[in-house]
Each structure stands twice: as structure tokens, then as C-alpha cells.
Structure 1
Amino acid sequence: MHTTQISHYWVGSDEPFVDTQQINQFGRVTLGRFGGCARSGQYKNEDGAAILIGDNWEMTVVLDAHKTADSAALVLQQFAQHESRIRDDLDAPLAEAFGRIETTVLDLFQDPDFLAACTTLQGETACLIAVRKGRFIWWLSVGDVVLYLFHPELMGMGQAALNQRQFYEWIGRANTFALPVPSYTRGIRELRQGENRLFVTTDGLLECPGTPYAEPKQMEETLQSGGVAELLATIEAHGVRDSTTVVTWTVTIEETVTQPSDT
């Protein structure tokens, strides 16, 4: 039945890609990684990513850890151990799927064993989870990884980022899910008719020397002209030190979407 099932998990401590651009295609989703430039002082990669694909949905997880990659590895391990529950959630009818995945993610991040393991780690991680099903995108974000939606109608209004970078928010040794009230951002958005490009990036891209990608429009233009390969080549040419991990995929929506009433 699940002819399009794909699962991929990666953590930078296993494959750092320092001075190396790595681009892989997993079904509909492109994963791009550049571990940073050794000439700028980089010697390790603390990012991580997961890509899960079902028959009519995609889920991507992008992590940006610091001090060590242990926190990113622990989050990925938690998702991998509960992948069957995640897939059951996302295979559910559209009206139920996003509520179910949100409950699952919050359960996994607040699981007592997981929280206990976090206290033993060196460092902590930002984490952005994005799920596309039907003509909707759901996300849950902890920290400063950013999710963009590039569509001509929205770009014309100056709208691209779906979430805002949040500082002092992590999972790991310092853990905002261990607070009396967890701190995170979540949202759901209807995609627009036509071609929607979803794009997630860690802050290496945003804080690259010379800031070639300080504005979403610059990212979108590069993705249109040369794709992820041009993005990574550009930041390498600028001598970026911080590791950069991106995921991107395009969804074409043919059905009618919400429009304003006639004025």
C-alpha cells in the first residue's frame, strides 16, 4: 500500500561534510548540507535532519545543535523509535492528521525518559518540524530554524517566512520543554493555488559573511536559477563557518483555495 514510503535520518557528528557540499534527493524532497569552511575555522557539524514521506504527505525535521550534536541525535532517535506512530498520525484523514501529529510531538518531547536523557547531554538543539498534507502545511518550531513558503502571490505581498527565529529556546541540556509551560511555536497555513516551494534552513545560510541570503527574495531567486547547489556554492565562496542544512520541496495545488470576497 505504501509505495512511496521513505525514511532518512542524519546527524552531522556522523557525516560532517566540512568543506563538502552534499545534495541528496529523497522522493519529492531535496536535502542540502554544507558543513562549513575549514579555512574559516570549522571542524565539526552539529546539525541534523530527518525526512519521512508517505503516500500523500511529507515530514521534514531540521536541527541546529551547539556544543555537541548529541541533542540533535537524541531528538532523531526519539522520532525514529516512534516512526510507526508518526506514520499512523499522518496517514489519518486530513481533518485529523495535524492534531494527531501535534499531540505526538508534544508527547515525545515531554516524555519523562526523554527529558531525563536531555539532562545528561552536552549542549542543546533548535528544531523545526514541518508536515505537508493536502493543501496545508503544519509546523512546530523550537528555536531559530526557519521555514519559508515561496509563492508568487505571497511574495508579492512581502510574505515568505512562516515562523520567526526564536532565541533562548532549545531541546537538550537547556530545555524549554522542561519548563512548567513548554515554549514553542506552531502553526498551520493553507498553501496557494499553483506551485508552492517549501524551504527550511538553519541559520548558517542567514548569517553567512556578506549576508547573500539576508532576505527571502535572494533565497527564492537562487533556488529558481540554480537550486540548492547554487545556494551552497554561494555560501562556501563567502567562507561561511557555520554548518548549513536545508530542505526544500515543491507542492502544486490544483484545487481552489481561499480568496477574499469581491469588493
Structure 2
Amino acid sequence: MNNANKDFSWVGSQENFVDKPSVLQLNHILVGRYGGNSNAGQYKNEDGCSVWFNEKEDWEFIILLDAHNTSESAKKILEQFDNEKSPIKDLLSLPTNHQTFKRLEDKILNLFQSEEFLSVCREVTGETACLIVVRKDKYVWWFSVGDCILYLFHQELAALGQYQLNQRQFYEWIGQVNTFEQEVPCYTVGIRELRQGENRLFLTTDGLIECPNELYLNPIHIYNIFGNLNDDQSNIWSMLSNIKNNDVRDSTTVVSWKVNISKEATRPSNQ
């Protein structure tokens, strides 16, 4: 299924995908969802995600959420960003420079720290990890609360053993328990230059890496899957089928896409 040029938003309470893996193609972006195995005790899905992109302006904007207790906190975050979609897209259309990413960070912080949003969070049951990723031109930027994961796969980085961009942080959420209620909110922001050639961005909730038998705990196994001859959609199907066959209980949501960069990347002065 190919849904081109259409913003996408989903939360697990809408459709839980328990026992039913799904891979959705949104133009050049793939969204894989699996709610977990009912025979392992799973009956609900508290993940969520949102996907926006603009090929002409050369950017993607992804929100990935992994809630617990209920999916209410994930739903409220998606609603909040949907309400702010127009000004956020205006920022994403600006020239690619440090100030643009700084303004985006300020926008997101203002949203999460607004009294309106904080009061909404006080009324929900449960809380969520939240990973926001923007790819613009030859840069990838992220804003992370909690333990969702962002990987960057490129052969030059893989040769040096580098796959993961952000570090998982535990005891960090947005919702009923909320880092933005603290005197000093805890979150992570980062930005990296993409390498020349083919880059793959891969976001996942922790269901994929915490599956029994730890099939994908080491990111080299994810990297190698995309190195085979199958198409990307089949590769994600394969991962979701494998965790299903290993009786995974936790839900898994992945978002993945390729970016080809023609511009030269930074190299050491003696090369």
C-alpha cells in the first residue's frame, strides 16, 4: 500500500495489530507495526507514530511513541502536534542552518512546557517515551525523551562499528509522570551529518530489541538485514515475523527510510 504526500498518524488504541504484523508504505517511508503475541499475554498496543514529509523541501518529520499503562499520553502528544502542524512545517521549510534546528527545538520545548499541555497530561493515565526525528538536507536532528531508538546505517559508519545515534534513557517520560513538570526537564537533543551516498534512518520502539532470544539487540543484525537483496518492505516484514515467531509480548513500531546524499561529507584532513 502506497500513500504518497499524505500526513500519517496512528495510535495503538485505534488498531492494535496484536498477532497481525503490518508494513505500510508512505511514499519513500515504511512504517512497520506489530502489537505482540496474544499467546504471550498481549492484548493491547500503546505505541503511536506520526509521519510528515515534503520531498520538494527535502525533509521528513517523524514522531515515535511508546506508552505504557494506557495509550492516552501518546494520543495527546499526537493531537498536540497536529494542532501545531502548520507552524512546525513553516519552520521545516526554512533554509538548512543551525538556527532552523534551534528554532525547532524551542518550538517543541514551548509546546511540552505550555500550561495547556501540562494540564492535559495531569489528566491522563500512563506516560510515554517520545522520539522526534527530523531529516533535512544532509542532516538528521532528534529530540528524545525515554528509550525509543534512532539508528543511522551507512557503510562508512558500519565499518567503524557505529549504528546508533541516541542513547536510551530509562525513567524518563511524558504524561502522568512527566519530565516537563520538573524544575529541570530531562531530554536529549542531537544533530548529525549524513554521509555521502546511501543513508538509512531506522527508528524503533523497544519491543524489537527486547524480543526473547535478543534477535535484534545488536544493531549489526538490523543493518545486515537491509544489506541483503530483498526489498525494504520485505526486510521489515521479515523482522516483524521473526519477533512474532519468538513469542514477543511487547508491541513494536518501526519507521525506516533511505536518503541518498550527493554532497560530500566531512573527512579527516589527512585523507
> TM-score scaled to structure 1, two decimals?
0.97
* Match runs of 1:21-170 below 5 Å: 21-54=21-54, 55=56, 56-95=58-97, 96-170=99-173
Task: Output the amino acid matched with 1:33.
Answer: R
Q: Which residue of 2 aligns with 1:6?
A: 6
Kindly state the Cα deviation for residue 181 of structure 1 after the two structures are TM-superposed.
1.2
Confirm or deny: 8 A CA contact 1:49 1:61 kept in the other structure. yes
CA deviation vs aligned residue, 1:164-221 (integer Å, no higher than 9, x gap): 1100000000000111111000100000011000000000001000000010000111
Q: Quick one: which of 178, 183, 187 aligns to 1:184?
A: 187
- How much does 1:5 deviate? 4.2
Question: What is the alpha-carbon distance in structure 2 between the residues aligned to residue 111 and residue 60 of structure 1?
Answer: 21
Give structure 1 regions of 4+ aligned residues with deviation exceeding 2 angstroms: 223-226
The CA distance in 1 between the partners of 2:263 and 2:14, in whole Å, is 42
Unaligned runs of 5+ in 2: 229-233
What is the CA-CA distance between 1:104 and the residue it aligns to?
Answer: 1.1
Cα distance per residue 1:142-165 (max 9 Å; x no partner): 000000000011111111110011
Q: Is the 8 A contact 1:91 1:97 kept in 2?
A: no
Does residue 233 of structure 1 match 2:235?
A: no
Partner of 2:242, secondary structure, is helix
1:97 shift after superposition: 2.6
- Give structure 1 stretches of 5+ with no counterpart: none
Q: Does 1:258 align with 2:266?
A: yes
**Secondary structure at 1:18 match in 2:** coil
- Deviation, 1:6, is 2.9
CA distance in 1, matches of 2:12, 2:244: 17
Q: Is the 8 A contact 1:60 1:130 kept in 2?
A: yes
Please give the secondary structure, in 2, of the residue aligned with 1:115: helix
Tell me how far apart the structure 1 counterparts of residues 170 and 84 of structure 2 sit (CA, whole Å).
28
**CA contact under 8 A between 1:27 and 1:53: conserved in structure 2?**
no
Partner amino acid, structure 1, of 2:10: W
Provide the TM-score with structure 2 as the length reference.
0.94
Q: How does 1:204-219 map to 2 (within 5 A)?
A: 204-219=207-222
Aligned residues: 260
Percentage identity across aligned positions? 50
C-alpha distance in 2 between matches for 1:229 and 1:97: 36
Q: SS at the partner of 2:208?
A: helix
CA distance in 2, matches of 1:9, 1:71: 14
CA contact (8 A) 1:150 1:196 kept: yes
